[in-house]
Structure 1
Amino acid sequence: MNSKNFTSRTSSGLSQQLKIVGCIFVLITAIEIINLLTGRALNHFGNIPRYIPGLIGVLTGPFLHGSLSHYLSNIIPLCVLSFLMLQYGNKRFFGVTFFCIILTGLLVWLFGRSASHIGASSVIYSYFGFLLLAGLLSRKFKLIIISLLVAFFYGGLIFGVLPARTFVSWEGHLFGFISGLIAARLWAKNL
């Protein structure tokens, strides 16, 4: 393979990854703006445990936020970890994301406190769990480095799985993290 083809393939991959992260940013931000302008009316679509209509929140809850500060605390880690997840390939990124949203949402719906569970932090914790374990299981240098960087820069997230504050869905954090670990075990072998 000549260096010209390698360079164009690499920059094309990076360009596509940045576009996907940009789309995630625009989507979450657009939903936040609509939610803000409607007085948080969209938050009725949160994940409400053991309430049949609340099952819609399994899919919609991760896209909603309770306040502007809640959105702001999630958007940067979501974009950074999404970019790192894309290092595993687009197909794996979308597969792991869908798997973790569904599994996390169902676990929260089954076992969470009676409240409306919303926020992208459940996805962030899924990515955190996946990135920590998948790189190590892959035994590939680049992916191991990603695991180590995630552990170093985001390792403090692990304390978010504890029930420290009543207004924080620590269940979403915990089940997101567990879902990410499960996804890593399922997908890391085929890297």
Structure 2
Amino acid sequence: MDKHFKFSNSVVGLPLFFVLFLWFIYWLEVRFGFDFDVNGILPRTVSGLQGIIFSPFIHSDISHLYNNSIPLLALLAALQFFYAKQSFYVIGYGILFSGLLTWIIGRENYHIGASGLIYVLVSFIFFKGLFTKYYRLIALSLTVIMLYGGMLWYVFPEVDNSISWEGHLAGLVTGFVLSFIYKTPEYKKEVKYDWEKPDFVAAKDKFMQRFDENGNFVNLPPVVEEESELPYFTSSSTLSYAADLNYSHVANIDLESESES
């Protein structure tokens, strides 16, 4: 398994706790006859601001709750496993900012449900995987878009007037922004070669100079040595050698030298 990804109890515990808490809230509502809908987001009203915090935990009926529970279990587990360092920030700020944006752009009605958070998670996991360029996270992004890509239609108005498309759109935008804000340096590719460095200039590299723009091998132009400014000397001496049988050497030297400076 990749050294970056470590399984822990929170990978299972976090999504289970979150979803069970949603079911507990719904049980309280049914068991004691509460109407928590009025605690949802009511756009552009002071009382509706409470819904920014409370709305993800409120659902209209059991079908609404069930449809949100399955994606939350899968997406929260993926978030905690692949982005453990960022998971709580994404969940917390995802709820806060997607709710605030819904409060700003939403229709004058109560907006409830955890679908806004689901869109935050889908958006964050998809875009973050692409931005990291890490092959396992890119595979996760593609898996998420295959499973939940159809949700994209529900960020547009008039597709289904019974749902909060504003909350979906707010979640999508929030997740995209958070994928920019929270960095993942642990997944950054280690630089091993000079050509991988951002300041690498191919024209100055000795190896790359051996190739033209079409990739053909070319010879480098001859290096012209600069003339030295120091004085130099030449000689026209003739030097000859003769050897005797005793392996001793006799040198006959005829010296006629000229010097220039």
- TM-score, scaled to structure 2: 0.66
Q: Which residue number corresponds to residue 176 of structure 1?
A: 171
Choose between structure 1 and 2 for higher RCO, CA contacts under 8 A separated by at least 6 residues. Answer: 1
Residue 114 (str. 1) matches residue 108 (str. 2) = yes
Query: Structure 2: which 5+ runs fail to align?
Result: 187-261
Residue 67 (str. 1) matches residue 61 (str. 2) = yes
Measure how far apart 1:37 and its partner are.
2.4
Measure how far apart 1:23 and its partner are.
0.8
Asked if 1 retains the 8 angstrom alpha-carbon contact of 2:55 and 2:113, the reply is yes
Query: Structure 1: which 5+ runs fail to align?
Result: none
Give, in whole Å, the separation in 1 of the partners of 2:120 and 2:30: 26
Partner of 2:86: helix, strand, or coil?
Answer: helix
Give deviations 1:164-188, integer Å, cap 9, x for gaps: 1222100000010010001111114
Of residues 82, 102, 119, the one that matches 1:88 is 82
Q: Which residue number corresponds to residue 70 of structure 2?
A: 76
Q: Which amino acid aligns with 2:169?
A: L
* Backbone CA RMSD of aligned residues: 1.8
Of residues 85, 88, 94, the one that matches 1:100 is 94
Q: Which amino acid aligns with 1:167?
A: S
Measure how far apart 1:76 and its partner are.
0.4
Closer/same/farther in 2, CA of residues 19 and 189 from structure 1, 3 Å limit = closer
More strand per residue: 1 or 2? 2
**Percent pairwise identity:** 31
Asked if 2 retains the 8 angstrom alpha-carbon contact of 1:31 and 1:64, the reply is yes
Measure how far apart 1:91 and its partner are.
3.5
More helix per residue: 1 or 2? 1
Asked if 1 retains the 8 angstrom alpha-carbon contact of 2:120 and 2:173, the reply is yes
Q: Which residue number corresponds to residue 130 of structure 1?
A: 124
Asked if 1 retains the 8 angstrom alpha-carbon contact of 2:11 and 2:78, the reply is no
